[in-house]
Structure 1
Amino acid sequence: MSQSFRQPDILEIARAEGKVMVEDLALRFNVTVQTIRRDLTELANAGKLERVHGGAILPSGVSNILYEERRRLNEAAKTAIGRACAAAIPEATSLFLDIGTTTEAVAQALLDHRDLMVVTNNMNVARTLLANPDCEIVLAGGALRRSDNGLVGHLTARAIENFKFDHAILGCSALGEDGDMLDFDIQEVVVGQTLLKRSREVMLVADHSKFQRSAPVRIGSIRDVDHVFTDAPLPAALADACTTWGTHVHVSPPGN
């Protein structure tokens, strides 16, 4: 297979799985590891992938990948995370659901819950929850970000200050090795920072690709989070830190 045919397929695998490994690709395409390394180097030079030890990941930077690509990325993992998080949320409760494709998976898993009041700045979440007749939906108004139907900015943060939620379900674009939750949009970060102060229990939902990415703006630390729902074990040092901080980590691999 020539590189011109192989490289689009490599990109599609990276978008679906978050990361590609040299040896796995060599087996998949029946070529040498040297050939795959050249492919990854060319894709990295073109800004389409970022090289890491043993493979490559989707590029980090100061802007997020497109919303539809994020929605497809690790879709099965997000479904598993969403179900695990929803199972930890009792009925007859109030909660906030943040912007993000993983929080949308939580919303989908909440359709059978009863007597909920959900506040959200995610219009996709609100649209999903319309299918649950026993869920009161409140939109936290703000500036509409057309790229993902999110409501962001100080107006949204101000609306959130009127509540004290039983649970807040947060997403992030990246999770640093030191436990910092990171994002790309300052307007979105101010919402997350307000939620940390206005919620009795905070739950972070993040698939394993967030461990491999970087973003420039800090939301806060997972030491301020009660539960982390993910699909793969955290890096060892971060897992140890969570134990020290009292942050409970729940790992739900896809298919389990």
Structure 2
Amino acid sequence: MTLNPRQRQLLEVVRKRGTISVEELAQQLDVTPQTVRRDVKQMELARLLARYHGGVGLPSSVENIDYTQRQMLNSDAKQRIAAEVAARVPAGSSLLINIGTTTEAVARALVRHKGLHVVTNNLNVATILSDNPECEVIVTGGLVRGRDRGIVGEATIDFIRQFKVDISIIGVSSIEADGTLRDFDSREVKVAQAIIEQAREVWLVADSDKFGRQALVRMAHLSQIDVLFTDAAPPAELTAVLNAAQVTVVVAQ
């Protein structure tokens, strides 16, 4: 589903409010409730929104949404996060970058960096950064997932363990209130765990929709992360966990 500007605004309002009535949405968007209901119905079919008793909210699901839909979600936030990351990556750095639409945004923000050495299990990241003549790109072996061009499997893990990089840049699907990081695919999680292990610093890139979202497979804990890049201040409970783990939080404005 390609969102029009009104639908993008609607999704952003729901993301900020959590759950909101159709009538309130209509007032905020200056449209009729009927228009809101039509938009919500379309976006519910695309699994971008869900209707609950009393209003509209984000879907609460243990299944990940499609890659093309994830590309559209919070694209502005991902671009802001990516710009903050790129501003802090020194020239000449070695990086490991994993699967995800936010890490792909980071790759686009790095296309003018000089002297980078990037190892990735994300063919989209490799394609983006191969346009940078000042960047060496190394692609892992393994099984390519057609839906998002991510590479997973035991061969991927073995390949990654050959390297020790300055910074691993990872995305995630879920950050729970106790600091647990989760994702949906156990094969992807195992690769991400290897990426974390093979870095001197670990940078997590996650928009605020990931706070409190549900996912199946435990990947890591915030105590294994050095810097969290996000687009909004984390909730109080999560902030306490971040402080206890001495994680630096960068909020992209």
Which TM-score band applies after superposition, normalised by the shorter structure? 0.7 to 0.9
Count of aligned residue pairs for this structure pair: 245
The residue aligned with 1:240 is: 240
The residue aligned with 1:193 is: 193
Aligned partners of 2:239 and 2:215: how far apart in 1? 21
Aligned partners of 2:211 and 2:149: how far apart in 1? 25
Instruction: Name the CA shift for 1:57/1:194 in 2 (closer, same or farther; >3 Å).
Output: farther
Q: Note if contact 1:40-1:55 (Cα within 8 Å) is conserved in structure 2.
A: no
With 8-17 and 72-81 compared, the bigger mean Cα shift is at: 8-17
The residue aligned with 2:204 is: 204
Q: What CA deviation, in whole Å up to 9, does each residue of 1:99-118 have, x standing for no partner? A: 11110111111111111100
Kindly provide the amino acid, as one letter, of the partner of residue 77 in structure 1. A
Kindly provide the amino acid, as one letter, of the partner of residue 185 in structure 2. D
Secondary structure at 2:107's aligned position in 1? helix
Kindly provide the amino acid, as one letter, of the partner of residue 65 in structure 1. I
TM-score (normalizing by structure 2) = 0.85
With 208-217 and 223-232 compared, the bigger mean Cα shift is at: 208-217
Aligned partners of 1:52 and 1:165: how far apart in 2? 45
Secondary structure at 1:112's aligned position in 2? coil
The residue aligned with 1:251 is: 251
Aligned partners of 2:65 and 2:11: how far apart in 1? 10
The alignment status of 1:123 with 2:123, answered yes or no, reads yes
Kindly provide the amino acid, as one letter, of the partner of residue 167 in structure 1. I
The alignment status of 1:138 with 2:135, answered yes or no, reads no
The residue aligned with 2:106 is: 106
Q: Note if contact 2:119-2:137 (Cα within 8 Å) is conserved in structure 1.
A: yes
Kindly provide the amino acid, as one letter, of the partner of residue 123 in structure 1. L
The residue aligned with 2:172 is: 172
Deviation, 1:219, is: 0.5
Instruction: Name the CA shift for 1:24/1:131 in 2 (closer, same or farther; >3 Å).
Output: same
- Where structure 1 has 5 or more consecutive residues not aligned to the other structure, the ranges are 1-7
Q: Note if contact 1:16-1:75 (Cα within 8 Å) is conserved in structure 2.
A: no
Kindly provide the amino acid, as one letter, of the partner of residue 110 in structure 2. L
> What is the aligned-residue RMSD (CA, Å)?
3.1
The residue aligned with 2:74 is: 74
Q: Note if contact 2:189-2:218 (Cα within 8 Å) is conserved in structure 1.
A: yes
Aligned partners of 1:66 and 1:230: how far apart in 2? 22
Aligned partners of 1:115 and 1:73: how far apart in 2? 31
TM-score (normalizing by structure 1) = 0.84
Kindly provide the amino acid, as one letter, of the partner of residue 176 in structure 2. G
Kindly provide the amino acid, as one letter, of the partner of residue 197 in structure 1. E
Q: Note if contact 2:83-2:109 (Cα within 8 Å) is conserved in structure 1.
A: yes
The residue aligned with 1:64 is: 64
- Where structure 2 has 5 or more consecutive residues not aligned to the other structure, the ranges are none
Aligned partners of 2:243 and 2:52: how far apart in 1? 28
Aligned partners of 1:239 and 1:184: how far apart in 2? 24
Q: What CA deviation, in whole Å up to 9, does each residue of 1:21-74 have, x standing for no partner? A: 332444325457xx979x979987997634679854432323211111111111
Secondary structure at 2:96's aligned position in 1? strand
What's the % identity of the aligned pairs?
42
Aligned partners of 2:5 and 2:81: how far apart in 1? 27
Aligned partners of 1:214 and 1:84: how far apart in 2? 26
Aligned partners of 1:215 and 1:73: how far apart in 2? 17
The residue aligned with 2:94 is: 94
